[in-house]
Amino acid sequence: MSVNGVRVHEKVLTLDTMNPQVKSVEYAVRGPIVQRAVQIEKELKTGIKKPFTEVIKANIGDCQAMGQKPITFFRQVLALCSYPDLLEDSKFPEDAKARAQRILQACGGGSLGAYSASQGIEMIRQDVAQYIERRDGGVKCDPENIYLSTGASNAIVTMLKLLVSGEGACRTGVMISIPQYPLYSAALAELDAVQISYYLDEDHCWSLNVNELRRALQEAKSHCSPRALCIINPGNPTGQVQSRQCIEDVIRFAAEEKLFLMADEVYQDNVYADGCKFHSFKKVLFEMGPQYSEKVELASFHSTSKCYMGECGFRGGYMEVVNLDLDVKAQLTKLVSVRLCPPVPGQALLDVVVNPPQPHEPSYSTFIKERSDTLSALAEKANMTQEILNQIPGIQCNPVQGAMYTFPRIHLPPKAIQEAKEKAEAPDMFYCMKLLEETGICLIPGSGFGQREGSYHFRMTILPPKEKLMIVLAKIQEFHQRFTAQYS
């Protein structure tokens, strides 16, 4: 190999010799558009003039980066656990001190700095189990079925890793929704499993139709061995909240077709629309009676990163497994033990999330106020986003029933599509990149999540503070009109 005429040592590790499965991974949420956004931020800092003064990152569900305040009680407990000398400090409320002491007593050497059990601290797993029982109206939860994790992502990949086997036409197939959160497609590519795409129904509020599951499964059976079905509810990037009926249908389908269910429920507190309610797969499964509850294998996932806490940086989370074969469970425990343990501060945080201040405790009223302020602000922004976007000619969006995103359809002029194709870019990538360069607004093109051929979308978070969100929406409107005019 030679560069500028100089002979260069051939590397051991090159694009040609590296792991081809890693090469095939794509992950749009932190892809080229976000890299360009970071670059533009640096250009602004060095004084380069732009038609805007700041980059607004509406590309990722990063609540606190967008100004959401952490829950005071949670942070007090974390500070107390980090530096236990503060337990003597009268400025901290007694309930925060009691929680911190209880967590520290469950840590090796009474310290966040010790490894925990690989499955997570036992006491915290018990607290999680009680939280799930309360959430699910008393349906039993065994702490032995709880695995604490490094965010939900890590647990999802671990579960997929267990499920993957076979070669050629026997390769494991995993059903994922389109649009999807690209962690799923990335993990399947990395694990060399087959992605079985089922489409959500955009015309019906991104709902999930079991006939579409059936279609996708039938088509896939010729070239892989379908073994798992992944559901994201409330939906990312599509913001729908599944009805109880739909969840029942999905469970029945999984039972008939012998599919392992994976329920990504990290947005379980983020439900805004009237008439919508979060139903956990676990609860519905158990309410359907023993022919389902003793049979269907389920893993469900939750995280400290979303909902009203938005503590993404702590990488806390858990997975509950239901009806998992006991030998496989031992294998799962072995697998997680190789990485030693999930971050202990994230475990401590999860503990206070599942065991927050109670009505008789001093921090209760502040906690309730902070939580409901955050959730009602999100509900307001969910509604506002949908209303304003739907006023823009050429943009159509479904209600944001839950989660933190809108995924509107954008109609692009044929000339724009043509120009994008000439540049070998997805048309909605071309659109989003232009939006970024002209307005500083960073969104993710729908092609990063998957969409029906010939339709174009973007994902935008509803997280910016209300005033900023209004500016963002106004800028998108302006841009979309200009873009449409330019290419008409």
The interface with its own copies within residues 335-374 (CB under 8 A) comprises 335, 337-346
| 64 near its own copies, judged by CB under 8 A | yes
8 Å CB contact between 203 and 397: no
- Whole-angstrom distance, CA of residue 47 vs CA of residue 65: 23
| 149 near its own copies, judged by CB under 8 A | no
Of the residues 114, 169, 368, 474, which one makes contact with its own copies according to CB under 8 A: 114
CA atoms within 13 A on the CB side of 411: 12
Of the residues 39, 43, 54, 67, which one makes contact with its own copies according to CB under 8 A: 67
What residues from 243 to 272 belong to the interface with its own copies (CB under 8 A)?
258-260
* Two tokens, residue 96: 């925060």
| 112 near its own copies, judged by CB under 8 A | yes
In the complex with its own copies, the residue whose CB is nearer, 146 or 416, is 146
In the complex with its own copies, the residue whose CB is nearer, 241 or 462, is 462
In the complex with its own copies, the residue whose CB is nearer, 181 or 456, is 181
| 240 near its own copies, judged by CB under 8 A | no
Residue 384's closest CA among 473, 283, 280, 271? 473
| 187 near its own copies, judged by CB under 8 A | yes
| 25 near its own copies, judged by CB under 8 A | yes
CA atoms within 13 A on the CB side of 23: 8
* Two tokens, residue 273: 């629309």
In the complex with its own copies, the residue whose CB is nearer, 212 or 257, is 257
Using the contact rule CB under 8 A, the part of the chain among 114-122, 272-280, 398-406, 444-452 near its own copies is: 114-122
Using the contact rule CB under 8 A, the part of the chain among 10-18, 136-144, 441-449, 480-488 near its own copies is: 10-18
| 161 near its own copies, judged by CB under 8 A | yes
| 171 near its own copies, judged by CB under 8 A | no
Which residues are within 8 A (CB) of 12 and not within 5 positions of it... i.e. 6 or more apart?
none
| 39 near its own copies, judged by CB under 8 A | no
- Torsion of the alpha carbons at 367, 369, 371 and 373, rounded to the nearest 10: -160
| 37 near its own copies, judged by CB under 8 A | no
Which residues are within 8 A (CB) of 480 and not within 5 positions of it... i.e. 6 or more apart?
392, 394, 395, 410
- Whole-angstrom distance, CA of residue 147 vs CA of residue 141: 12
Angle at the Cα of 27 (from 63 to 309), degrees rounded to 5? 20
Over the window 289 to 328, marking each residue x when it contacts its own copies by CB under 8 A and - when it does not, the resulting string is -----xx-x-----------xxxxxxx-------xxx-xx
Cα distances (Å, whole numbers) of residue 117 to 78, 334, 341, 343, 419: 20, 11, 6, 11, 55
- Whole-angstrom distance, CA of residue 332 vs CA of residue 326: 10
8 Å CB contact between 229 and 188: no
| 9 near its own copies, judged by CB under 8 A | yes
In the complex with its own copies, the residue whose CB is nearer, 120 or 408, is 120
Using the contact rule CB under 8 A, the part of the chain among 149-157, 268-276, 395-403, 410-418 near its own copies is: 149-157
| Secondary structure (DSSP) of 176-204 | EEES--THHHHHHHHTTPEEEEEE-BGGG
- Whole-angstrom distance, CA of residue 179 vs CA of residue 198: 9
CB of 391 to its own copies, least distance (A): 30
In the complex with its own copies, the residue whose CB is nearer, 17 or 391, is 17
| Secondary structure (DSSP) of 84-123 | GGGGG-TTS-HHHHHHHHHHHHTSGGGSTTS---TT--HH
- Whole-angstrom distance, CA of residue 385 vs CA of residue 214: 34
What residues from 199 to 228 belong to the interface with its own copies (CB under 8 A)?
227-228
In the complex with its own copies, the residue whose CB is nearer, 19 or 245, is 19
What residues from 70 to 109 belong to the interface with its own copies (CB under 8 A)?
70, 75-76, 78-80, 82-83, 86, 89, 91, 107-109
Using the contact rule CB under 8 A, the part of the chain among 60-68, 235-243, 437-445, 479-487 near its own copies is: 60-68
Kindly state the number of chain residues that form the binding site for its own copies, as judged by CB under 8 A. 97
In the complex with its own copies, the residue whose CB is nearer, 38 or 368, is 38
